[in-house]
Amino acid sequence: MAKWGEGDPRWIVEERADATNVNNWHWTERDATNWSSDKLKELLLGVRVEGGEGVCEVTEVDKLEGEASINNRKGKLIFFYEWNIKATWTGTSKTGIKYKGNVEIPNLSDENDMDDLDISASLSKDEPDTPLLALMRKEGVQAVRSALGGYLGHLKTVSQLDSEKD
């Protein structure tokens, strides 16, 4: 324990005339919710899978609730995000019949690994059963998981670039 007046100069903020947070030593927080919302929509709307049964793609992000922030403590970046996402997918079978369904991701957060995400794909009400649902549940869910992993990569890249500018 340091004696009074012999502490680390980075900690002495109130005695500085400008009260500067030297080298972001103290906790700083930036809201990344709007950027994240746009990026998640962009990534999810790019999800498309093809198989012997036909083609499926995410066509609309119906619900995107949550928040994201980038924190800096002693020069270390810490990411907090929590999202509840619902999207609509449409599929076209090889015979040309169109189907609609939903994708739900209730737990995209910094507390869960990408492999632990609950991603469910289902058909909309009144839709007849189709092999496209199996395509969405297998390959579509993996494509969505990959897109969400891309979000985390982009979040870290953007925050690195921003912190280098500061």
Written as six digits, the tokens of 100 are 């609609």
Q: Which domains, from first to last, does the chain contain?
A: 23-165 (3.15.10.20)
Q: What pLDDT digit, counting tens, does each position of 48-101 carry?
A: 999 998 999 999 999 999 999 988 877 788 899 999 999 999 999 999 999 999
% pLDDT > 90, the chain:
51
Specify the DSSP class assigned to residue 23: G
What average pLDDT score do residues 114-135 get?
Answer: 89
Transcribe 82-123 into DSSP letters: EEEEEEEEEEEETTS-EEEEEEEEEEEETTS-GGG---EEEE
Length of the chain: 166
Torsion, CA 60, CA 136, CA 110, CA 75, rounded to 10: -80
Q: What is the pLDDT at residue 20?
A: 57
3-state secondary structure of 28: strand
Q: DSSP alpha helices (H): ranges in the chain? A: 33-44, 131-135, 141-165
Q: What is the pLDDT at residue 166?
A: 47
When mean pLDDT is compared across 27-31, 126-130, 158-162, the lowest value belongs to 158-162
Q: How far is CA 17 from CA 12, 23, 74, 124, in A?
A: 11, 16, 21, 62
The residue that leads in pLDDT, 113 or 121, is 121
When mean pLDDT is compared across 8-17, 42-51, 143-152, the lowest value belongs to 8-17
Among 41, 53, 54, 58, smallest CA distance to 121 is for 58
For residue 144, pLDDT beyond 90: yes
